[in-house]
Homo-oligomer: A and B are copies of this chain.
Amino acid sequence: MRGMALVQAHCARREGRLKEHGQILLAHGGGGRMSRSLIEAEIAPRFGKGPLKGFPDAASLPDPDGPLVFTTDSFVVQPLEFPGGDIGKLAVHGTVNDICVCGGKPLWLSVGLILEEGLNISLLRRILDSLAAAADECGVTVVTGDTKVVARGQCDGLYINTSGIGRALPGFSLGPEMIRPGDAVLASGPLGDHGMAVLCAREAVLSGTGPMSDTGPVHRLVAAAADMAGAVRFMRDPTRGGVAAVVNEAVHGTPCGVALDEQNIPVSPATRSAAELLGLDILHVASEGRILLFCAPEACDPILTAWKAIPEGRNACRMGTVTADAGSVLLNTLAGGRRLVDMPQGELLPRIC
C-alpha cells in the first residue's frame, strides 16, 4: 500500500512538471479524465462532426445494405505475452469487441505492424499465429495490412494497429441517450482480470499464481442478447479506465446516474488478491473480454439467462441500477455505506492494451 502511494505521489509530481510545459502525459492515454480532456480539447474541435460526435467506440456509416460499423485501435501492451494472452490476440479482440458493443457483426480486419529492429522473428511468429487464430475464432478475415520497421529504441518490440469493419445487426438502437432510470446494469463476467494480469506480469508479482487475462471476443454475448435487442440501451467493453470510466461516460451529461452494488460486482479470487496487494480499485482496472450492458428492467433476466448458457457468460450478473441522480455514479459498499465512483484520474496502469 505504502509503495503504491509513493508511486502515485511520484506520478503526480511528474505530471505536474509536464503539464506546465504543455507536454503529453501518460495519463492522456489512460482512458480517464485526462484522456477525455485531450479528446475534448484537441480531437473534438477538429474531427468531432458526423460519426465521431459523442465518441462512440466505432463509427456508424451509411450503406444501402445496412450501416457499416468502423473502428480502430492501436495496441502497445507490455509485456507482449502475458498470462492468458498476447498482443496479437488482444489486437483482434479489442477491435472486434468495439464493433460488437456498437451492435455490429465484425467482418473484416486490417493489421498494421510497427516492428522494432532486432525483434525476434520467432516471437513475431508466435504473435501472428495467435492473431490469426483469434481472427478465425471471431469469424473475421484479415484483408489488408502494413508493416513498418523502426530502429532500436524507437518502439518497444512491437505495436499493432487493427481497424475493423462490421455490419450493424438489426434491432439494436444503442447510445447513452437511450438510458432510463430503472434500467438494469449487467456485467458479462468477472471484471479487471486483464489489467491485473498484465500488471502482475510486468511487475513480477504473484508469478504463476496471479490473475489470467480475460482477453476474448464478445460477439457471442452480443448475439445472445440480440433477441432482446429492442430493450438494450447501451453496451461498452470496460477496457482502459475500467467500469468506472464506462459508467461515468455513459451517464455524463444525461439526466441519469448509476448505483452499483459492491456485493454483486463479479471479481475473480486471483484478481481480488492482486488488487488488494497492490492497493488498486478494481473498478478502475481494464477487462478485455467483458461487456457492461444497460437494458430495460424486463430484459435483465432473459439476457442473463442467455449469457449464462455460453461459457464466456457463465458468471454474468446484474451489478447495478440506473437512477435519476444526474451524472452521479455511486457504489453501495459491502460495509453498508455509499461512495462516489469517479473517473480514474492519473495513469497507474500504462500500456495495458
**Chain A positions 144 through 182: 1 when the CB is less than 8 Å from some CB of chain B, otherwise 0:** 111111110111100101010100000000000000000
> Does the CB pair B43–A146 fall under 8 Å?
no
In chain B, what residue has the closest Cβ to A158?
Answer: B24
Q: Within 8 Å CB of A22, what residues of B?
A: 120-122
Return the contact of A112 from the options B27, B74, B107, B113 (Cβ within 8 A): B74
Let me know if A163 and B47 touch, CB within 8 A.
Answer: no
- In the complex, the answer to whether A111 meets B143 with C-beta atoms within 8 Å is no
Q: Which residues of B contact A128 (CB under 8 A)?
A: 42-43, 46
The reply on A213 being an interface residue by CB < 8 A is no
Q: Are A47 and B124 in contact (CB under 8 A)?
A: no
Task: Name the one of B59, B116, B351 contacting A108, with C-beta atoms under 8 angstroms.
Answer: B59
Mark each residue of chain A from 43 to 69: 1 if its CB lies under 8 Å from any CB of chain B, else 0. Answer: 100110111100000110101110010
Q: Give complex CA distance A51, B21 in Å.
A: 47
Contact A28 B141 (CB under 8 A): no
Query: Is B147's CB under 8 angstroms from A38's CB?
Result: yes
- Cβ of A345 to closest chain B Cβ, rounded Å: 15
Q: Is A71 an interface residue (CB 8 A)?
A: yes
Please report the total number of A residues contacting B with Cβ < 8 Å.
80
Residues of B within 8 Å of A247, CB to CB, are none
Contacts of A108 in B (CB 8 A): 51, 59, 61, 70
Distance, CA A97 to CA B343, complexed state (A):
40
A295 to B83, CA, bound (A): 54
Question: Does A110 sit at the interface, judged by CB under 8 A?
Answer: yes
Query: Is A267 at the interface (CB under 8 A from chain B)?
Result: no
Assess the B24–A116 pair: CB atoms within 8 A: yes
| Residue contact A114 to B28, C-beta cutoff 8 Å | no
Which residues A95-147 have CB closer than 8 A to chain B?
A: 107-108, 110-122, 124-125, 128-129, 131-132, 141-147
Contacts of A18 in B (CB 8 A): 117-118
Q: How far is the CB of A249 from chain B (nearest CB, A)?
A: 15
Known A63-B63, A121-B24: A146·B110 in contact at CB below 8 Å: no
Q: Is the beta-carbon distance between A117 and B35 smaller than 8 angstroms?
A: no
Residue A26 at the chain B interface, CB threshold 8 Å: yes
State whether B68 touches A149 (Cβ < 8 A).
no
Q: Can you spell out 16 A-B residue pairs with CB atoms less than 8 angstroms apart?
A: A23-B117, A23-B119, A27-B149, A29-B150, A43-B145, A46-B131, A47-B142, A51-B144, A59-B144, A70-B144, A71-B144, A110-B163, A114-B159, A148-B353, A149-B347, A165-B165
The 5 closest A-B pairs by CB, nearest first: A29-B149, A72-B110, A163-B163, A59-B143, A161-B161
